[in-house]
Amino acid sequence: MTTQNTPTKAVAARAFAVEAHGEQMYGPHRYSHHLDAVAGLARPYGDDAEATAYLHDIKEDVAGMSFDALRERFGNEVTEAVDLLSDPPGANRKERKVKAYGRLAVTQNRLALIVKPCDRLANMRACVADGNERLLEVYRSEHPTFRAAAYRPGLCDEIWSELDELAEQPIVADSERPRPCG
């Protein structure tokens, strides 16, 4: 019996996304840093969720990326989720988010409803780690509307619990964090 080593959809999605994002940066980090953070949060929800996490920004960040190319490689379910996770065009962030949250509010696409809070949590964790108070405040101000649109009871509740905590607590720099004794 021959065993074929076929990569999982998530492994293939990571390779595809890292190549497509190229030299793009996420703050001071390579973009793969952000993709790995989101995918790590999505991993417990299955291979399709992890693959979607790797691909979640590809349409809005990679010029010329088509949904046909994604569908051919990753299937309809992942591609539809990536479409829902891509911000619609708008004059500014507020306009884009109003449209995006409107789409999330009415969808039942499980992958999108898992990956979107994973993405937001990865973004908020990065703000705390990097001391980016300005962007963290943007996420905090959007949190009630974001939660109303994307939260579904019983779906990734532990992600939502941490999001809710981060939306409420102040940034504490590493130098200010209490250190354990001993």
Report pLDDT for 5: 60
121 in a structural domain: yes
175 in a structural domain: no
Report pLDDT for 148: 98
CATH code for position 95: 1.10.3210.10
Report pLDDT for 175: 46
pLDDT digits (tens, 9 = 90+) for 66-113: 899 899 999 999 999 999 999 999 999 999 999 999 999 999 999 999
Tell me how many domains the chain contains.
Answer: 1
Asked whether the predicted pLDDT for residue 28 surpasses 80, the reply is yes
Report pLDDT for 64: 86
Report pLDDT for 180: 43
69 in a structural domain: yes
Domain that holds residue 83: 9-170
The residue that leads in pLDDT, 180 or 16, is: 16
Q: Which residues of 64-85 are buried (b: 16+ CB within 10 A; e: fewer)?
A: ebeeeebbeebeebbbbbbbbb
59 in a structural domain: yes
Which pLDDT band, with edges at 50, 70 and 90, does 182 fall under? very low
SS (H, E, C) the chain: CCCCCCCCHHHHHHHHHHHHHCCCEECCEEHHHHHHHHHHHHHHHCHHHHHHHHHCCHHHHCCCCCHHHHHHHHHHHHHHHHHHHCCCCCCCHHHHHHHHHHHHHHCCCHHHHHHHHHHHHHHHHHHHHHCCHHHHHHHHHHHHHHHHHHCCCCCCHHHHHHHHHHHHCCCCCHHHCCCCCC
131 in a structural domain: yes
Asked whether the predicted pLDDT for residue 1 surpasses 50, the reply is no
40 in a structural domain: yes
Report pLDDT for 55: 97
Asked whether the predicted pLDDT for residue 165 surpasses 80, the reply is yes
Q: Which residues of 148-178 are buried (b: 16+ CB within 10 A; e: fewer)?
A: ebbbeeeebeebbeebeebbeeeeeeeeeee
3 in a structural domain: no
Asked whether the predicted pLDDT for residue 173 surpasses 60, the reply is no
Phi, psi of 174 (to 5 degrees): -55, -40
181 in a structural domain: no
What gap in Å lies between CA 156 and CA 167, rounded to an integer? 17
For the segment 159-175, the average pLDDT, to the nearest whole number, is 81
For the segment 127-144, the average pLDDT, to the nearest whole number, is 94
